[in-house]
Amino acid sequence: MNCQNAQSMVLNFINNKLDKEETKEFIEHIRSCKDCWEELEIYYVMLIGLKQLDEGEELAADFKEKLQNEVDSRYLEIEKNSKRKYAAKIVIVLTIAAMLIWMFVYLFFAMFL
């Protein structure tokens, strides 16, 4: 992903409108690109601050920390889900292999016994 793509995704990221793959690519890019991270921070502070003002909430002073936590939690969730999918695929493959072995053994013994 390049900076232009990442910067065009900032608002969608903040509003949680990116799919999992886009979110993962976006986060990986902003973690390695200071300029894009700063762009995200600016929009995040502005949008979340306006939202808090509109809702009559007291403005939080820890926007950067909240943003970092949000980015980290979304990335961890994506990683956790991909590991689950990988584990599920392994279980399916092993189940099929076990069934094939069982069928082979059953047929082998049925033919020779």
What gap in Å lies between CA 16 and CA 19, rounded to an integer? 8
User: Where are the domains positioned within the chain?
Assistant: 3-84
pLDDT at residue 110, as a whole number: 80
What gap in Å lies between CA 57 and CA 67, rounded to an integer? 18
* Length reported for the chain: 113
pTM: 0.66
Confidence class for position 30, pLDDT limits 50, 70, 90:
very high
Dihedral (Cα; 88, 1, 36, 23), 10-degree rounding = -20
